[in-house]
Structure 1
């Protein structure tokens, strides 16, 4: 396909932007860091493969034990009829990788005539029930329901090999999404191809196994998603809910469509039916009943389609018409579809902008939207991508994302709102959106006013080249604001600045988004000073060079035993070398969980000498009841009162005095701690932002 003018403009703007940001990085970060950043941006990596599929070794039967509990959270019900070797492989997989959740395993034998009875009796921990006569799959499952003791019943075919973590992923879904009434696993063929990531039901009652023969890592199938039904080969449901329905419906005996009927009953009862791709189960489809619908038990599939269609005729009128080809646009047609375009997926454990974006996504999902994330670099973000997929976000990446323009050409028409994050991303993508998604409301998220931050950095360093670069950034940001429908700002101070610089722009305030974590440890139990911030952000590096080099020695003179914990990713060697000269300074670098430092450190410091926007490091500390000493720049636009919510100090001596005072004054510490928590709830919580999010994205 030939390149359109919009595509050409996108690629040209991206190249020019990379050159400009590279030159700016050389001036502020040096050549080593800049070279490393360029390498990361230019490197195209295939998505990391998930762990290889586990398969138990084929071996002669010998006694072994399976997980068991007298008080199980989940009861795994495995109906069997002959095929003892498959049952053995399934049980061996459960034994090799026992779930973390307490469970029991019930094998319900529907009158097998092979080795099943003899083998099952010799497996320790297994609950084995033999039916008096063969009644079929539904009868065996309902026997298992009557025998189950767990809070959840998990139906599992005997011709499956559950993969490590499968059960815990299913059960965690009920905790993550309380409205869940039924959740199914992603089913795979033994060769690793996708068998089904949830099922689609058409208006005539026929069904489609979504994703069959595709890659399970394809973005269309890899995220948590509402499904029309989930196969009874591997699904979980609250036992009380299944009992309320009387088990699986005997109208579909001996088998087929009972799982589809169950899913429709769950939805009719006000619950959600979800497919959980984090739960992987290999299914040797057709082992029990074959695949020929013209004869044998499989023939009941054709008959039961009509039974199902007659029972759910009203509900089926809302389904896709038979003959449709399901895809994301159609499957989410009843939802408001929101596209987020940024360079890479957010990493909320690394920077405050990512945490804000991650929590915004959570709010959009809670508001009923379907969220799609498009990283312009095309990279799979590893755990960060999986975290979004676990929420239900459709995250695209290479090799399925083959260029932003090509992707928008295919998908652009389905979105009502597009969020563009950062001015250089927005300026590159706007021409493509005008061409391929003209119907969408465009929202520009500044994250902070980059030109304001760059201008202040240039003034602090007295660098005219940085000042000129800041003016170019200003022109780019203002042009994007003029070209988009809404601009998101993070502080009232920035809104006031824009009232002067761009009075005609429609702006909305959406500040940092935090959950109020609570008080943490009490004053007497807390120790030391804490700073949290990533060092790819120039204001953070300057802040630590100043604090460690000039401020902390003054503090140590008055508090000789005090320690300072510097936490944040991408620490340069120069900062580590400086820290090594100062007793009491510990540079931890990246830590996966900062909560112990927020809840256990006595005082947080925010010694920023330039910057813009709202400082997530201050929000994070306050959300954990940790008082803060900040510079005027760091406290700007955060609704903070000096001496009530925060201590504000500028200059090395004044900053050191404030830290010592807050560290030693228990009454002052308690006042700031309590008021800081109130500040987060009033101004930076998700409840505080709900009206803006609804107005901008959901109305």
Structure 2
């Protein structure tokens, strides 16, 4: 009996993955590792510049290729590659390359890695701006954290970003959703068929070794890519509102703020006299997380699920966050730390947890249990592969059932094709 040829996956990345810089980069690497476990061949391509913290894909046996926007060289590239599966990393890549993939590899399974719903994140950001415009000195942000999904839908429904993003979901065969809350939003309110969505959260395993104990830890920690708007907003809120309240209760406390691509506006916040230390990028995020006693993540907007909070659970570091930070992560299980709605409540919870070894140890154990219940690699990796294989086996009927997606591909891809060809012709002239 002849061996079946290996499945070949082409990834079209919005950026080159940087697992030590962002949760999105880490999630992409987890997906790639799930494919490698199956013996699948992977080619990773991107039109983006290579960042300084890029993962070494070649060392994993993944081929790397630079591609160009609005350039027919991609047509020859994908025609020769003839992938079985094409994974678009973020909907913008589907907009740019989807029509070329369909034209040259019509039978390839088209998969969208959403990372998070950017239209949801953007709508929440706008809601925060509007709230602060009317209540610039607000302490309690409960109105932002409590809306029902119907209200989120109303915020998003008229935006161009939501229309673009959800149209891309329809045009693809399967979209990977990191948050089951976002699946609920899409299916119940945007009426996206569940058959087009697959829950694929962060894939991690609880460590077998013992955590660093309470007495061997010190200080508070905050971590996150500074280019990600929710993280920068959280740092500002900590600096101006949350951290001063913590220092009133713990005058010797220190907060270490780590983040990739630290801009001058962030380093300007560094103030050792206030115990506020901007530390730049962490070479090993898990190492600095394991040394901290509390992870602070006061996120006032955002979407998806939060890699920093999963890292906290991995390291046995309790976290203090908002309902936005915890959204989609706990599935009603007790949170491994505390969730609060205001700067005053966040500071009080952080201080109480910092000073109570018994409560701290209980929160640490809850994190281990939560990882085991929701995020284990050996469950989600095979489930992802099985879903993709099933969809490939039933691809013709799957697409027939998704007439809306077929219609959207027909209209958008034609207009996108003509625009791309016009840009390419114009570039030749210039």
Q: Could you state the TM-score of these two structures normalised by the residue count of structure 1? A: 0.49
Q: 1:504 to 1:582 in 2, by over 3 A?
A: farther
Whichever structure has more helix as a proportion of its residues is: 2
Other-structure match for 2:414: none
Q: For structure 1, list consecutive stretches of 5 or more residues without a partner in the other structure.
A: 1-316, 320-332
User: What is aligned with 2:353?
Assistant: 662
Secondary structure (helix, strand or coil) at the match of 1:592 reads coil
Q: SS of the counterpart of 1:473?
A: helix
Deviation at 1:595, TM superposition (A): 2.2
Instruction: Give CA deviations for 1:34-76 in whole Å, capped at 9, x if unaligned.
Output: xxxxxxxxxxxxxxxxxxxxxxxxxxxxxxxxxxxxxxxxxxx
Contact 2:20/2:53 (8 A) holds in 1? no
Matched, 1:449 2:87: no
Aligned with residue 200 of structure 2, among 488, 491, 510: 510
SS at match of 2:269: helix
Given candidates 371, 380, 389, the residue that maps to 2:42 is 371
In the TM superposition, 1:186-205 aligns within 5 A as none
- Residues 1:489 and 2:156 aligned together: no
Highest RCO, 1 vs 2 (Cα 8 Å, sep ≥ 6): 2
* C-alpha contact (below 8 Å) 1:621/1:627 kept by paired residues: yes
Select 2:340's aligned residue among 624, 641, 649. Answer: 649
CA distance in 2: counterparts of 1:373 and 1:642, whole angstroms: 37
Q: What is the CA–CA distance in structure 1 between the aligned matches of 2:331 and 2:319, rounded to whole Å? A: 11
The answer to whether structure 1 residue 474 and structure 2 residue 143 are counterparts is: no
- 8 Å contact from structure 2 (residues 353, 360) kept in 1: yes
- Name the SS of the counterpart of 1:597 in structure 2: helix
2:61 aligned residue (392, 411, 416): 392
Following the alignment from structure 2 to structure 1, what is the Cα–Cα distance between the partners of residues 272 and 240?
9
Asked if the contact 2:220–2:255 (Cα under 8 Å) also holds between the matched residues in 1, the reply is yes
Q: 1:496 to 1:580 in 2, by over 3 A?
A: same
Secondary structure, aligned partner of 2:99: helix
How far is 1:692 from its partner? Answer: 2.5
Which secondary structure does the structure 2 equivalent of 1:439 belong to?
A: coil
Q: CA deviation at 1:470?
A: 8.0
CA contact (8 A) 1:567 1:587 kept: yes
C-alpha deviation, 1:698, in angstroms: 4.3
Q: Secondary structure at the match of 1:462?
A: helix
Q: Distance in 1 between matches of 2:69 and 2:114?
A: 26
Report the Cα offset of residue 625 of structure 1: 0.8
The aligned runs of 1:382-421 (5 Å cut-off) are 384=54, 387-397=56-66, 405-412=72-79, 414-421=82-89
Distance 1:504 1:697 in 2: 16
Residue of structure 2 equivalent to 1:560: 251
Q: State the partner residue of 1:498.
A: 186
SS at match of 1:588: strand
TM-aligned CA distance change 1:410 to 1:544, over 3 Å: closer
Q: Does the Cα contact within 8 Å between 1:478 and 1:502 map onto a contact in 2?
A: no
Corresponding pairs, count: 364
Q: Give 3-state SS (helix, strand or coil) of 2:198's partner.
A: strand
1:33-48 to 2 correspondences below 5 Å? none
Superposition deviation, residue 562 in structure 1: 1.1
Written as runs of structure 1 = structure 2, the 5 A alignment for 1:152-551 is 334-377=5-48, 379-380=49-50, 384=54, 387-397=56-66, 405-412=72-79, 414-462=82-130, 471-499=159-187, 500-504=189-193, 506-517=196-207, 518-551=209-242
Is the Cα–Cα contact under 8 Å of residues 336 and 698 in structure 1 kept in the other structure? no
CA 1:687–1:483 in structure 2 vs 1: closer, same or farther (change >3 Å)? same
Deviation digits for residues 381-414 of structure 1 (CA, Å, limit 9, x no counterpart): 57635x111111011137xx79764234343462
- For residues 109-188 of structure 1, the aligned pairs below 5 Å read none
Query: Is the 1:640–1:646 contact (alpha carbons within 8 Å) kept by the matching residues of 2?
Result: no
Partner-residue secondary structure (3-state), 1:511: coil
What corresponds to 1:185 in structure 2?
none
CA contact (8 A) 2:219 2:292 kept: yes
Measured after TM superposition, the shift of residue 576 of structure 1 is: 2.7
